[in-house]
């Protein structure tokens, strides 16, 4: 019975062109990477990728990789147990202190808590704070981990449209629970646009609500010294509950929640995805110190400047092709540039045409994005060069010409 159900689900996915599979990378994370072929008899392929979240190009940075090795020599390979039971080492504690200092200008009495992944951090925040006397007001395009956290909570769930803050205000006005949690991504992961956090904070203050900000795609990239979306907007409030991931721009792994110390202490004592899981290896926390050094230093500034230049190049050059091909490249000053094609098959065909030319730009289809908005998610890294973007532009121009000719 189980296998029949699975076979039916697979057939439906294949029919809708939604069946996915992992590609095996044979070289470290970088724009130029070698992948195993889908068919084992075929040779591996060298691809120029626009698909990672390694925005600053730190995942394979020698200083970060060396710090990971040093962390393993100092602290061993594993933590041995959950944080509360004995797995919380000095490397974790030091990292949390530093992250709290980074966010201290934005969150009074800030304390940070390190998690193994952003997914677990978001589940912790929402499932723990979303008590039965709470309403979670969730933005429509929030990441799956926030949605899953809201589902795990006992709170009432209300969804407001993407950037639909008038609707949010109406919902807040009609909300009669003592606790209200507004939940939003800062940078939307499949669209690259920004939440209007100042407006959300104003709404929170006027309606006595709290805001959970998922800065997975902003931490390290936005704001002075890469301190993220709160720094970008210059916000400060005790109502802010911040989640930053450390496996994207920071190039390593993990995530952290930073909030008023009492909230964080409550998470330590009540968040199931903090309590009932083995602490991440201390070497990860140790490596992250090297990554934070780079992010806040001159090298981080230079890498963020390169990202801005690459995003401008994509906007001008891919934008021109999109306009003539009937695709849409929304205006974005962002590391995430969504080239919206519409139809699932067309998005897959475009990704396949690029792959023939040695480029890897993944097609993103429903349910990750709404029906009819399948797209290529072009994600940029400071490790890309202008020549890499030239290659993408040329390949897209040829694909658009081939489509016109067919």
Cβ at position 187, least distance to ligand PLP in Å: 8
- Tell me the sheet residues that pair with 82: none
Catalytic choice (49, 145, 189, 379): 189
Mask for 223-262, x = binds ligand PLP (CB under 6 A): ----------------------x-x-------x-------
Helix (H) or strand (E) holding 400: helix 386-405
With binding defined as CB under 6 A, does residue 145 bind ligand PLP? yes
Helices (H), 76-164: 90-103, 118-129, 144-152
User: What is the spatial distance between Cα 145 and Cα 151, in angstroms, rounded to a whole number?
Assistant: 10
Q: Which residues contact 228 (CB under 8 A, 6 or more apart)?
A: 103, 186, 215, 218, 219, 220, 221, 222, 242, 244
Provide the minimum distance between the beta carbon of 294 and ligand PLP in the complex, in angstroms, as a whole number: 19
Closer to ligand PLP by Cβ: residue 319 or 338 = 338
Q: Tell me whether residue 189 is one of the annotated catalytic residues.
A: yes
Q: Which of residues 205-224 bind ligand PLP (CB under 6 A)?
A: 214, 216
Kindly report the number of other CB atoms within 10 A of residue 131's CB atom: 15
Binding to ligand PLP by CB under 6 A, coded x per residue (else -) over 172-211, reads: -------------x---x----------------------
Which residue, 245 or 381, is less far from ligand PLP as judged by CB?
245
* Nearest-angstrom CA–CA distance, 258 and 222: 17
CB of residue 55 to ligand PLP, shortest distance in Å: 12
Distance CA 98, CA 192 (A): 28
Does the annotation mark 266 as catalytic?
no
Binding residues among 108-127 for ligand PLP as defined by CB under 6 A = 117-119, 122
Task: Name the active-site residue from 61, 88, 232, 248.
Answer: 248
Helix (H), strand (E), coil (C) string for 339-364: EEEECHHHHHHHHHHHHHCCEECCEE
Q: How far apart are CA 335 and CA 343, in angstroms?
A: 24
When the beta carbons of 110 and 255 are compared against ligand PLP, the nearer one is: 255
Kindly list the residues in this chain that would bind ligand PLP in the complex (CB under 6 A). Answer: 117-119, 122, 143, 145, 185, 189, 214, 216, 245, 247, 255
Q: Please give the positions annotated as active site.
A: 189, 217, 248
């Amino acid at each position: 019975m189980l296998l029949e159900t699975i076979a039916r689900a697979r057939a439906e996915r294949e029919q809708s062109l939604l069946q996915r599979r992992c590609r095996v990378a044979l070289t470290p994370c970088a724009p130029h990477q070698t992948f195993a072929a889908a068919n084992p008899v075929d040779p591996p392929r060298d691809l120029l990728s626009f698909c990672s979240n390694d925005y600053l190009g730190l995942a394979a940075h020698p200083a970060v990789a060396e710090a990971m090795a040093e962390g393993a020599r100092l602290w061993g390979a594993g933590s041995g147990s959950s944080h509360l039971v004995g797995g919380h080492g000095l490397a974790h504690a030091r990292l949390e202190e530093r992250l709290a200092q980074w966010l201290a200008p934005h969150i009074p009495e800030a304390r940070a808590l390190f998690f193994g992944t952003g997914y677990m951090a978001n589940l912790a925040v929402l499932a723990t704070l979303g008590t039965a006397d709470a309403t979670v007001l969730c933005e429509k395009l929030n990441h799956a981990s926030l949605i899953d956290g809201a589902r795990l909570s006992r709170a009432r769930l209300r969804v407001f449209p993407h950037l639909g803050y008038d609707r949010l205000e109406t919902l807040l006005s009609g909300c009669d629970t003592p606790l209200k949690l507004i939940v939003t991504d800062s940078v939307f992961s499949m669209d690259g646009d920004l939440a209007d956090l100042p407006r959300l904070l104003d709404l929170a203050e006027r309606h006595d609500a709290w805001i959970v900000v998922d800065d997975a795609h902003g931490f390290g990239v936005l704001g002075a010294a890469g301190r993220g979306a709160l720094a970008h907007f210059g916000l400060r409030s005790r109502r802010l509950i911040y989640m930053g991931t450390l496996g994207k721009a920071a190039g390593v792994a993990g995530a952290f929640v930073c909030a008023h110390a009492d909230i964080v202490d409550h998470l330590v004592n009540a968040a199931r995805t903090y309590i009932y899981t083995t602490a991440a290896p201390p070497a990860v926390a140790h490596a992250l110190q090297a990554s934070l050094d780079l992010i806040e230093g001159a090298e981080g500034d230079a890498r963020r400047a390169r990202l801005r230049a690459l995003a401008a190049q994509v906007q001008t050059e891919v934008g021109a092709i999109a306009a003539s091909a009937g695709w849409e490249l929304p205006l974005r000053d962002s590391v995430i540039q969504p080239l919206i094609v519409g139809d699932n098959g067309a998005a897959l065909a475009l990704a396949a045409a690029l792959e023939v030319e040695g480029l890897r730009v993944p097609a993103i289809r429903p349910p990750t994005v709404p029906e009819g908005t399948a797209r290529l998610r072009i994600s940029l890294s400071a490790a890309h060069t202008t020549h890499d973007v030239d290659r993408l532009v040329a390949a897209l121009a040829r694909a658009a010409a081939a489509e016109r000719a067919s």
